[in-house]
Each structure stands twice: as C-alpha cells, then as structure tokens.
C-alpha cells in the first residue's frame, strides 16, 4: 500500500469518526424528541426499536453540516429539522422492507420491523413517524414562518412529487426494460430529493440566501444520486453481513439498476461524476465546506 492510499484511508477513517459523533448527537435528540410525543406503550416499543438501529444518519447530519456553512454551530432548530428528516427516512425504510414492497428480513443488521412486530404494526409505526415528524417541526421550531418553510421542504421531498413518486415508478417497472432516463427519474425522486431536502433545510435554518440555497439544492441532489448509485453497486458487490440488509435483492426482484444497465465500471464513473458535480456547488463556501466535500468523496468508497 503506497503512502497516498494510506493517507486517503486515514482521512476517510477520521471522517467516519466525525460522522459517527454527529450521528450520535442526532440519535440522542431523536430519543429526547420522541419522549415529548404522546405514544401508547405497544407503539412506543416498536418506534424505539426502529430508531435505535445503528444507521449512519447521513441525511440528518447533512442538515447540521449545511447549517454550519453559515453559523459556527447548528442551533436547536437545525437539530429539530434533522430529527424530523430522520424520522421520515426511518418511516420510509420500515415501509420499504414490507412484503408488499422490497420484502426484506434485515435492515442495518437487525430483523426488520415487520419480522419482529408483524406487518400491521410496522405499517402503523411508519405512519406514526411520518406524521410525528411534522408535529415535531410545529412544536420545536421557534419561529412559525421557519417551521412552515421546513415543513414544505420535507413534505415536497417525501411526498407524491418526490420519494413516493420514485418508489411507485420503481415498483411499477420491475422486470421491465428501462432506459437511463427512467432509471435516473427513479433515483432522483426515491433517494436524491431527500438528500436535497437535507441540504436545503440546513441552509434555511441558518438564514442562507436564495443563491446559496440553490447551490445547496444542487449539491444535495447530486450527492443523493451518487449515494443511490453506490447503493446499487454495493447490492451487487457486497455481502449481507457487510451491508446489514439482504444483498443481491435488486437483481432477484428484476429491478434495473446502474450496474445492470451500464456495468460496474461505468456505474462507478456515474457515481464519481455526480460527486464532482456536487463538489462544484461548494466552491463559494470556503473551508467551512470541508465536511460536505469529504462526504462526497466518502460515498464513492462506500463499503456498506
């Protein structure tokens, strides 16, 4: 192993350590916020189970890091936005894993919610997190106009013009011949728009200008696309133990992915191109954008 590769891997390891520290902050805030939500005992147990799984919290940490492009430390509003977004993301994973969707038995190395608590309770748990996320923003964000802007961003990204549109298109086209334009539509909506939402919500919390929000929007969209392409690659190249979820399920389900359509080498090139486009949007932000740049570079080296 040469010195450059060693230095690169050391830097990547340091980045993941920082990411974990901020992810732990979000996880702690999620627990505290959930205590303020009125939840019956059976449902609280499943919500605790779903939120305790060891996710990377990339989207929610992005909220904090984009906010910190403009302020020294993300405030309580940004933390609440990060929690709300993570709840919406967790709801989407619970529903994605259901037999009617991706039908997966494992998520983040643990049995999926429906395997532990049954399909009906898993559906209700997802519904609970989705609705609680918007309640959280109305209750914890200290400015009503700011809360409304955050709610609009999150609803748009997660709703029928965003994540739901991508999931519906993905399921509706299983086993069909798909071209690059259709594939990009699925990835942009199902995954990338929630990353864009994370980047923009952080900027909104910090009072970013419209021009800066546009740059964050483009950054988040391209980072999200790179993340999903990398996810497609890992589904082919990774193991179930490595990924914490069932490997190879896309191919078995007849889904068309970037590796399936273009091959592994070109899929990696597409992921790198998306990261490069994302990093271009950070040129005006100076040294404060260091973590966001590292995130982009880390995505093309993902192993889980």
Q: Is residue 61 pLDDT above 80, yes or no?
A: yes
Cα 37 to chain center, whole Å? Answer: 23
Q: Where in the chain are the domains? A: 3-299
Would you place residue 8 in the very low, low, confident or very high pLDDT band (cuts 50, 70, 90)? Answer: low
Domain spanning 3-299: which superfamily?
A: Farnesyl Diphosphate Synthase (1.10.600.10)
- Cβ–Cβ contacts within 10 Å for residue 54, how many? 12
Selected residue with higher pLDDT from 106 and 219: 219
- Tokens coding 249: 């399920």
- Whether the per-residue pLDDT at 241 is higher than 60: the answer is no
Task: State the DSSP H helix or E strand holding residue 110, giving kind and residue range, or none if neither.
Answer: strand 110-111
pTM of the model: 0.91
Measured between alpha carbons, how far is residue 132 from residues 21, 86, 87, 217 in Å? 25, 11, 8, 25
Position 19 scores a pLDDT of 95
Digit-coded pLDDT (tens) for 47-60: 999 999 878 999 99
| CB-based contact 235:248 (threshold 8 Å) | yes
**Residue 141 pLDDT > 50:** yes
Tokens read off for 22: 């901020």
Q: What does the alpha-carbon distance between residue 195 and residue 166 come to, in Å, rounded to a whole number?
A: 14
What is the predicted pLDDT for the residue at 300? 81
H helices within the chain, ranges in order? 3-35, 41-52, 58-67, 76-96, 113-117, 119-140, 144-158, 163-172, 180-187, 193-205, 210-237, 240-243, 249-252, 258-262, 264-280, 290-299
pLDDT (0 to 100) of residue 303 = 66
**pLDDT over threshold 50, residue 169:** yes
pLDDT, position 12: 77
| pLDDT for 251 | 57
Q: Given CA atoms 136, 138, 142, 148 in this order, what sign does their dihedral have?
A: positive
Using pLDDT thresholds of 50, 70 and 90, give the confidence band for residue 248. Answer: low
Task: Tell me the three state secondary structure of residue 39.
Answer: coil
Is the separation of the CB atoms in 43 and 125 below 8 Å? yes
d(CA 132, CA 34): 9
Q: Note the pLDDT of residue 171.
A: 85
d(CA 116, CA 75): 36
User: Given this model, what pLDDT does residue 7 score?
Assistant: 45
pLDDT over 70 (residue 250): no
DSSP-assigned letter for residue 287: G
Average confidence score pLDDT of the chain: 89
Q: Residue 175: its pLDDT value, please? A: 58
* Structural tokens at position 240: 């179930």
């Amino acid at each position: 192993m040469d010195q450059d590769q060693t230095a690169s891997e050391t830097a990547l390891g340091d980045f993941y350590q920082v990411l974990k520290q901020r992810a732990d902050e979000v996880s702690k805030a999620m627990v505290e916020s959930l205590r303020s939500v009125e939840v019956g005992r059976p449902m609280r147990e499943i919500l605790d189970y779903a939120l305790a799984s060891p996710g990377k919290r990339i989207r929610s940490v992005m909220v904090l890091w984009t906010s910190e492009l403009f302020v020294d430390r993300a405030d309580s509003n940004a933390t609440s936005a990060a929690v709300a977004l993570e709840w919406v993301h967790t709801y989407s994973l619970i529903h994605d894993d259901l037999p009617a969707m991706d039908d997966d038995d494992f998520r983040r190395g643990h049995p999926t919610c429906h395997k532990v608590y049954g399909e009906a309770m898993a559906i209700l748990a997802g519904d609970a997190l989705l609705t609680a996320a918007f309640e959280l923003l109305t209750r914890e964000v200290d400015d009503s106009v700011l809360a409304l802007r955050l709610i609009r961003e999150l609803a748009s990204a997660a709703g029928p013009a965003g994540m739901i549109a991508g999931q519906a298109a993905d399921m509706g086209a299983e086993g069909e011949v798909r071209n690059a334009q259709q594939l990009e539509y699925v990835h942009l909506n199902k995954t990338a728009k929630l990353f864009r939402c994370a980047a923009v919500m952080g900027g909104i919390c910090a009072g970013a200008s419209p021009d800066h929000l546009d740059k964050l929007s483009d950054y988040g969209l391209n980072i999200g696309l790179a993340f999903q392409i990398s996810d497609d690659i890992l589904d082919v190249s990774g193991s179930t133990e490595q990924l914490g979820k069932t490997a190879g399920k896309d191919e078995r389900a007849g889904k068309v992915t970037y590796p399936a359509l273009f091959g592994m080498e070109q899929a990696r090139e597409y992921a790198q191109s998306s990261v490069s486009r994302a990093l271009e949007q950070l040129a005006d932000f100076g040294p404060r954008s260091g973590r966001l740049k590292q995130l982009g570079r880390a995505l093309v080296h993902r192993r889980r």
